[in-house]
Amino acid sequence: MIGAPFVVLGLLLVLSALLGAQVRGRSRGSIGTFLLSPLHPSSWYATLSILLGFWVELFAFSVIVGIFSTGASLLVVGIGVVVIGLAIEASRLLARIERWRANLVDPRPLRPHAYRPYGRGWRELLITEFGDPSRWLDVVYVGVALPLTILEFIVTVLLWGTSLGLLSLPLWSLTSSLAPGAAGTSTIPAVVAITGGLAGLVMSAVAASVSQGLMALHRAVVAGLLCDSEQRQLQRRVETLEESRKIVIDVEADELRRIERDLHDGAQQRLVMLTIDLGLAAERLDTDPAAARALVVEAQDQARLALAELRDLVRGIAPPILLDRGLVAALSNIAVRCPVPTFVESTLAPGERLPDATERAAYFLVAEALANVAKHASAGRCEIRCRREANRLVVEIWDDGAGGARILPAGGLAGLAGRVEALDGTLSVESPEGGPTLVRAELPATVAPAATAR
């Protein structure tokens, strides 16, 4: 009976479907887990993943290596660069399939490693494609995965083939004794059939356990080459915080220099003139009361101007409307003073307050963005959108201007990005040539206990 192994395989699959939930839900010892491993669904998922992976890797390796070879031969005419780029993107597609295949056995999510986003223009696109370490790790995986999947396939097929063959011996013995003309005897002795069946049960447990082990090994390779590890996440986080800390320090230093310059050139000069006028008035008080009175009036004007400049300076550091009435009112005040028609859309609850650092960062983000719109965008309309998403505050500044805004290392948007990232936030800019432009920031919006008492 040629189909005996397939009959045994079908029976194992039926038993696994019927008893798999009970086997999965009970805690057993190591021996019990080993003996019942053929009935565990993860064993069949692992076997399926290995069998599928062999053909996937064989096809992918042939196609990707062929594309790489074609691209290398066409480098002399320039188009080879594009062909090699297609091979790199094909490796990236294979990496996505491999992460899905690794999740068949273990449902714990595998986070893809961070890919460098595509830039604008051919130069940035080439830098992204050929200078991204994550993409080259995908290419390396193509070469590593093929011999690994071949080994997994050979071992799995050999073990499962042997176990199914041994398990089918009792069926072979029964069918051969019942066949017409067999004279009631079997070509396979009963002792051999029973011993083979028992050995097949043990081999099926071995095959199931080895299949799970091979897929666990393969998942580790996938996690190491194609996924983001906690160590790499922590390293990137440290690098981001260090960079944002440097930017914030530079921004604060510039802010202090601006305050010092404004005080020196503005209020300080007013106060000096006030002192001189009062001194002159004191000298002429007895001899020329009218001139003394004029000097006192002038001193009053100087004092009034000094107070106004100090008030403006303080407003630039911490706007009173922001402290007193909250973020939405402060943004509305900015919108009214913007030369471009600006509208505020907010879904925040009336009177809702956020952490001081979040409100300040959002306020100065909007103020700087609107200043850029007024200077460079040539826009006819601008919108400020403010909303809460879970425990994050989302602030968006949209305009219908000329576009082309980018976060450059020495630009104003880079300083805003550093200020936002220092608060564990993110800043993104979408500004294609010709517009429109959307500046989007996400900031932590967990209300501090003291925020409700303001």
Mean pLDDT over 218-223 rounds to 86
Higher pLDDT residue, 367 or 267?
367
H-helix or E-strand spanning residue 398:
strand 392-399
Which candidate, 121, 124, 142, 141, places its Cα nearest to that of 132?
A: 124
pLDDT at 328: 83
Model pLDDT, residue 390: 78
The larger pLDDT score, comparing residue 7 to residue 285, is at 285
The conformation of residue 267, written as its DSSP 8-state character, comes to: I
Give the separation between CA 6 and CA 388, rounded to whole angstroms: 58
Q: Which helix (H) or strand (E) holds 444?
A: strand 437-444
Strands 392-399 and 382-389 turn out to be: antiparallel
Catalogue all structural domains in the chain, each as residue range(s) with its CATH number.
Answer: 4-228 (no CATH), 248-317 (1.20.5), 322-453 (3.30.565.10)
Which of the residue ranges 128-137, 260-269, 332-341, 375-384 would you say has the lowest mean pLDDT? 260-269
Average pLDDT of the segment spanning 404-429: 75
Q: Note the pLDDT of residue 188.
A: 53
